[in-house]
Amino acid sequence: MRLIEYEGLSLLSEAGIPTPRFRVVSDPDEAVKAAVEVGLPVVLKAQVLVGGRGKAGGVKFAESLDEVERIAGALFGSEIRGERVGRVMVAEAVKHSEELYLSIIVDRASNTHLILASRMGGVDVEELSKRMPEKLIKVSVDPLIGLRDWQVRRVSSLLDLPSGLAPKIQDIVRRLYEVYRAFYCDLAEINPLAQTEDGRLIALDAKLIIDDNAARMFGFRFGGGLDAEREAEKLGLNYVELEGDIGIICNGAGLTMATMDLIHSLGRRPACFLDLGGGASAEKVYEAVKFLFNRPHVKLVLLNVLAGITRSDEVAEGIVRAYDEFRGSKKIVVRLTGTREEEGRRILESRNIGYFTRMPEAAEEAVRQLATSS
């Protein structure tokens, strides 16, 4: 499981590795407030899991609050290499003169941990090892013996940094190794590790891939899922993060479980589920649908509601509002039946939304749409 940048940076920071001050926000207004808190100038970074965000336009600098608002406005809802931006990091823009590379990986060929380091940070390590393998320092660590001091000193002497930085890089290597071991990482990477003119080293980006079981044990979920659950709670939504790609919204626990089983039986996996409970208003449905549209791993939303106390027209209104807000860019399939069904149907028919009254048909349509899109 790959952690999203801010989760990784938080772990590094907790382990005592210097990182920039940052906040994670979910709309332009919050971005402006965050910029005031961390201090201008700032860098706005799309919290997506795809690599090479910088090149793909996911990392932008802002000098003023106006700029923060404008750039954040453009970032939110945009797509970086096919992944929708639902969250942005606002980080202090650290002025630096050099970019280093530092990582620790599992080396399956030799069954060791491998420390990789380079003065040529900022670029992809694959590219670096292809184009300038001599610039990539490799020190392997026997997992049974653990990290020895001479290995740390070797990394630092091969990097050949200005003298004052040697103890700092050594400290970071040790701490990164601790994170790597403690979280059962397959990869713990800092790229770039910035070297500032006043002689500091600061981790500007973190890529941590941790063992799936360890991730569960430590409460990490794909793409900041635990955070998502907390956020949903604040909105009064009953949300549970999973790892597939179909986001499920239902009313009532029984219907929710039945819908999940149905998706599984069709060979797909739910990305999450959200139980609206009884008597959901248009507003609540709107919040729920929007919330799922914003989850990076949700490729399609399947909403399955049996209207009783809940009214179909309210549900339909909420759906349409969220759908329009995303200008139809997100996929949703709806099964809606019961109270005020006709009114609900009419509202939905004005949009290009798959609508069904029977549950198996809706689930099949959801799976079909995903199969044709990927």
Interface residues with ligand GDP (CB under 6 A) are: 20, 43, 45, 51-54, 59, 91, 93-94, 96, 99, 122, 191-192, 204-205
> At CA 229, angle to CA 269 and CA 292, rounded to 5?
55
Q: Are 239 and 228 in contact (CB under 8 A)?
A: yes
Minimum CB distance to ligand GDP smaller for 8 or for 247: 8
| Type of residue numbered 244 | G
Is residue 241 within the footprint of Mn ion (CB under 5 A)?
A: no
Return the DSSP state at 164: G
Euclidean distance between CA atoms 103 and 139, whole angstroms: 11
Is residue 205 within the footprint of Mn ion (CB under 5 A)?
A: yes
> Would you give the binding string for Mn ion spanning residues 174-203, x where CB under 5 A is met?
-----------------x------------
Q: What, of ligand GDP, Mn ion, none, does residue 236 touch, CB below 5 to 8 Å by kind?
A: none
| Type of residue numbered 334 | V
Catalytic residue among 7, 189, 314, 365: 189
Q: What, of ligand GDP, Mn ion, none, does residue 122 touch, CB below 5 to 8 Å by kind?
A: ligand GDP
Close Cβ partners of 77 (under 8 Å, ≥ 6 residues apart): 84, 85, 326
Q: Are 201 and 100 in contact (CB under 8 A)?
A: yes
Minimum CB distance to ligand GDP smaller for 204 or for 232: 204
Minimum CB distance to ligand GDP smaller for 94 or for 237: 94
Residue linked to tokens 């990869």: 187
| Type of residue numbered 348 | L
Is residue 7 within the footprint of Mn ion (CB under 5 A)?
A: no
Residue linked to tokens 């039945």: 258
Minimum CB distance to ligand GDP smaller for 47 or for 304: 47
Q: What, of ligand GDP, Mn ion, none, does residue 275 touch, CB below 5 to 8 Å by kind?
A: none
What's the min distance (Å) between Cβ of 122 and ligand GDP?
A: 4
Q: Is 101 a catalytic residue?
A: yes
What are the Cα distances from residue 93, in Å, to 14, 40, 59, 241?
20, 8, 11, 32
Q: In sequence order, what are the beta bridge partners of 338?
A: 307
Q: Is 286 a catalytic residue?
A: no
What's the min distance (Å) between Cβ of 71 and ligand GDP?
A: 14
Catalytic residues: 101, 189
Q: Which residues here bind Mn ion, judged by CB under 5 A?
A: 191, 205
